[in-house]
Amino acid sequence: MAGDGIVGDENVGGGTPDGSETRCGLVAIIGRPNVGKSTLMNHLLGQKVSITSRKPQTTRHRIHGILTRDNHQIVFADTPGIHSGETRALNRYMNQAALSALAGVDVVCFMVDGVKWTSADEHAMNMLPNDGTPIILLINKVDKLEDKAVLLPHIERLCAGRDFVEVIPVSALQGHNLEELEQALVKRLPVAPFWFDEDQITDRSVRFMVAEIIREKVVRQLGDEVPHQVTVEIEMWTDGPKLTDIAACILVERPGQKRILIGSAGDRIKSIGTQARLDIEQLLERKVMLNLWVKVRSGWSDDVRALRSLGYGDL
């Protein structure tokens, strides 16, 4: 069975009630930071599972998104962007999360940003498996290319370095060619029963999703003002008859970051809380009372013990 956290079925073979066979497998989406991996998975699923922003390293964890149709189930592993040159424990964790997603996968999607090519793309491509796992090259943001004539030479250069089974230009944001991508994936999945219930869309807990929603709003609002040394802990969760009461702590590393996050007279943290609450209510499908606190925990992003206590797994 492929991938940590993936629960398999004890049965062999796969089939639907009408006797037709089913296919099921694990697909890893790999690439450098900020090429659109999370946006792609969210649009394929038709629902937001991974948080997104314009800032690199928004995705920190490997998150499984589950796409189920009548006769196939694709389990996508959205991963942090593979990057080099970072030595903090948090960055090591993100690289490990991305590379561990490649273990036992059935298909790899390697995503690049249009015709841009950087040393980070080169590093990510060098991390791709060489064990015969089929790799599909995804050229994202093709809708933004003013001169489509530059696309073919770019594809030819990339294909000269790797043996891709298919090359699919896509627009993760606009949904261009996503049906073609799904078909390309399905035909490479093994015949197998579904691993998850048909109405399940991720293997992550609701609390994890709520913490990620809050962190997304922080990253989107603050941009470069507060770097990515920000994480969120859910400290209290109470489900009442009419609403869910949630208290969450936003951790930063320096007092100056805390001041920026709170804002003048608390206006910025209030705005973050309002935006997060609306998304959380949509996720939970009920009213939410959300209370946010900001605390300074110096050096948490380079402290292995602190990262483990915050749910970042083994390093």
| 147 and 283 share one domain | no
**Tell me: the pLDDT tens digits for 22-80?**
999 999 888 888 888 888 988 888 877 765 545 445 444 567 889 999 899 999 887 65
What stretches in the chain show pLDDT beneath 50?
1-13, 17, 53, 55-56, 58-60, 83, 314-315
Domain presence at residue 5: no
**Tell me: the pLDDT tens digits for 6-33?**
333 333 345 554 556 899 999 988 888 8
Cα–Cα nearest to 311, from 214, 196, 235, 233: 233
Residue ending a domain, among 128, 158, 186, is 186
CATH of the domain at 245: 3.30.300.20
CATH of the domain at 34: 3.40.50.300
Containing structural domain, residue 48:
23-186
Task: Find out whether 17 and 104 touch, Cβ atoms under 8 Å.
Answer: no
| 249 and 281 share one domain | yes
| 158 and 82 share one domain | yes
Residue ending a domain, among 186, 219, 245, is 186
* Structural domains counted in the chain: 2
| 235 and 176 share one domain | no
| 123 and 253 share one domain | no
| 260 and 173 share one domain | no
pTM confidence score: 0.70
| 163 and 55 share one domain | yes
| 52 and 177 share one domain | yes
